[in-house]
Amino acid sequence: MTTTEYQVTGMTCGHCESAVREEVSKIAGVSQVDVSAATGKLVITSANPLADTDVLAAVDEAGYEAVASGSA
């Protein structure tokens, strides 16, 4: 399992979290998505490493911007 962390800007509420979670969950191989509007943190657990471009595109589709914070 791979865990990747991103910083998302523009989220303010639970609806924002839900929108990001829904879009990121569509990426193949994603098993868990944890997102917090309070911290702006998005943590994705996946079977294999994900392409940052896929994650950033999914967050963009939800209406927000993200930058990679690193991998664990």
Model pLDDT for residues 5-49, shown as the tens digit of each residue: 999 999 999 999 999 999 999 999 999 999 999 999 999 999 999
2-71 has CATH 3.40.190.10 classification? no
Residue 39 CB neighbour total at 10 angstroms? 10
- The token pair at 31 is 């098993």
Instruction: Tell me which residue has tokens 């989220």.
Output: 11
Residue 61 has a pLDDT of 97
Phi, psi for residue 71 in degrees, rounded to 5: -120, 150
Supply 17's token pair: 């979290």
The beta strands (E) that lie in the chain are given as 2-9, 30-35, 41-46, 65-71
Q: What is the pTM of this model?
A: 0.92
In this model, does residue 72 exceed pLDDT 70? no
Q: What are phi and psi of 16, to 5 degrees?
A: -60, -45
